Amino acid sequence: METLFCSTDENNLRKSDKVFKRAAEIIKRGGLVAFPTETVYGLGANALNSRAVKKIYEAKGRPSDNPLIVHIASLPELKGIAEEVSPKAEKLIDAFWPGPLTIIFKKKSIIPDETSGGLDTVAVRFPENAAARYFIRACGVPIAAPSANTSGKPSPTSAKHVLNDLNGKIDMIIDGGEAEFGLESTIVSAVGEEITLLRPGSVTVDMLKEVVGEINIDKTILTKPDENLRPLAPGMKYKHYSPLCNITIVKGEREKAVKYMAELGEKSKAEGEKAGIITTEEDRAFFENRGLTLLDLGRESDPETIAARLFKVLRTCDDLHLSCAFIKAFPEKGIGLAIMNRLKKAAGYNITEAR
Ligand code: TXA
Ligand code: MG
């Protein structure tokens, strides 16, 4: 299979009409189209067509018990797929849709088991990205889409990442430039009266609380999941976001942490490894002129830039064939909770205290 690579005209999406028409034809005949969203690129299929959805699992190498998010392009579509929308869910929809928040509802039977991973619930997202909305609208059906990466790899934040992972396995990639947020959507369950956070993202705990009051937080967001502690979002239990490169997170007060990172990097280098330091702009000067490969993450004072670049930097570790890389831990508050959640998984929970 040849994968069709199509760019959109960012400034005038109307000009890209042909691209979206072509994409919609592919979706209608049960094919797979990767498309941009403001979080990460998605790999889309008709959410109501179980045969099409099965192809997503094949292309990604994704376990079939891991449900997909269903994407819509207008609010009225929600009624067609969700059985009940609680008052708190209504408030979240008002506050955050369209945007990087996925909400889980009891599902209607129109959603096939293949899409919901056999669960009686469905995860729904209304993306803000204009190209995503054009695409979904052109298709005229809800679009099931996981992140458009090979299962286990960091999520794709550019069309090039998608091409690297899925070239020849999918029908088309719509290139809409770099993803704005760079981390997958925040996921909450709104089944029943309560709101429970299943995956942290750019819509932070504080932002959610401001709208609905107290929320529950799945314990596995903070700690390593195991046999006794299973995440409520099935996908969060799998090895995730992992480059081949060995990532070590260094914890501790700033000066101690950067010193220790440099020491670890230099030691690895002396042992013949190709070592990298993933650094913030603020810390960069400290690591220069040591013969270590430096990867720029963004500004610590502006953690959104770090969130936006994290997956790209993790992929760059592999592009540069680094065998190991060291990165400082970030405070687990605000967007930092999502950054650390992804980072811990990328590092296989390899965290060390600066000495
Ligand atoms: O930002 C995003 O959410 C991106 C873009 C493409 O929209 N999508 C995305 O999908 O990250 P994916 O498949 O990589 O992650 C979806 C997560 C998985 O951990 C899955 O287990 C969980 O959502 N999930 C989906 N449906 C669920 C359900 N009914 N109950 C609990 N967890 C669910
Ligand atoms: Mg994913």
Q: Whose CA is nearest to atom 23 of ligand 1?
A: 233
- Cα distances from 295 to residues 107, 276, 292, in angstroms, run 43, 7, 10
For residue 234, give the ligand 1 atom closest to its CA: 21
Q: Quick: pLDDT tens for 153-171.
A: 999 999 999 999 999 999 9
pLDDT tens digit at each of 355 positions of the chain? 789 999 998 888 888 999 999 999 999 999 999 999 999 999 999 999 999 999 999 999 999 889 999 999 999 999 999 999 999 999 999 999 999 999 999 999 999 999 999 999 999 999 999 999 999 999 999 999 999 999 989 999 999 999 999 999 999 999 999 999 999 999 999 999 999 999 999 999 999 999 999 999 998 888 887 877 888 888 877 666 778 899 999 999 999 999 999 999 999 999 999 999 999 999 999 999 998 999 999 999 999 999 999 999 999 999 999 999 999 999 999 999 999 999 999 999 999 999 9
How many CB atoms sit inside 10 A of residue 248's CB?
18
Pocket test for ligand 1, best of 174, 184, 236, 240 (most atoms within 8 A of CB): 184
CA 235–ligand 2 middle distance (angstroms): 7
Task: Tell me the residues surrounding ligand 2 (ion) with CB < 5 Å.
Answer: 147
Q: Quick: pLDDT tens for 63-102.
A: 988 999 999 999 999 999 999 999 999 999 999 999 999 9
CA–CA–CA angle 157, 148, 109 (5° rounding): 130
Q: Quick: pLDDT tens for 177-200.
A: 999 999 999 999 999 999 999 999
Q: Whose CA is nearest to atom 30 of ligand 1?
A: 233
- Cα distances from 77 to residues 85, 89, 221, in angstroms, run 13, 15, 30
Q: Return d(Cα 337, Cα 200) in angstroms, integer.
A: 7
Judged by its nearest atom, the ligand closest to the C-alpha of residue 199 is 1
Q: How high is the pLDDT of residue 237?
A: 74
Q: How high is the pLDDT of residue 184?
A: 98
- 3-class SS string, the chain: CCCEEEECCCCCHHHHHHHHHHHHHHHHCCCCEEECCCCCCEEEEECCCHHHHHHHHHHHCCCCCCCCEEECCCCCHHHHHECCCCHHHHHHHHHHCCCCEEEEEEECCCCCHHHHCCCCEEEEECCCCHHHHHHHHHHCCCEECCECCCCCCCCCCCHHHHHHHHCCCCCEEEECCCCCCCCCCEEEECCCCCCEEEECCCCCHHHHHHHHCCCEECHHHCCCCCCCCCCCCHHHHCCCCCCCCEEEEEECCHHHHHHHHHHHHHHHHHCCCCEEEEEECCCHHHHCCCCCEEEEEECCCCHHHHHHHHHHHHHHHHHCCCCEEEEECCCCCCCHHHHHHHHHHHCCCCEEECC
Q: Whose CA is nearest to atom 18 of ligand 1?
A: 235
Q: How high is the pLDDT of residue 230?
A: 83
Pocket test for ligand 1, best of 64, 69, 70 (most atoms within 8 A of CB): 69
- Asked whether the beta carbons of 133 and 73 are under 8 A apart, the reply is yes
Whether pTM > 0.85 for this model: the answer is yes
Q: How high is the pLDDT of residue 238?
A: 64
Q: How high is the pLDDT of residue 229?
A: 80
For residue 41, give the ligand 1 atom closest to its CA: 6
CA 100–ligand 2 middle distance (angstroms): 14
Task: Report the pocket of ligand 1 as residue ranges, CB < 6 Å.
Answer: 37, 39-40, 42, 66-69, 102, 104, 116, 119, 121-123, 125, 145-147, 184-185, 187, 198, 232-236
Residue type, 341: N
CA 255–ligand 1 middle distance (angstroms): 37
How many CB atoms sit inside 10 A of residue 187's CB?
24
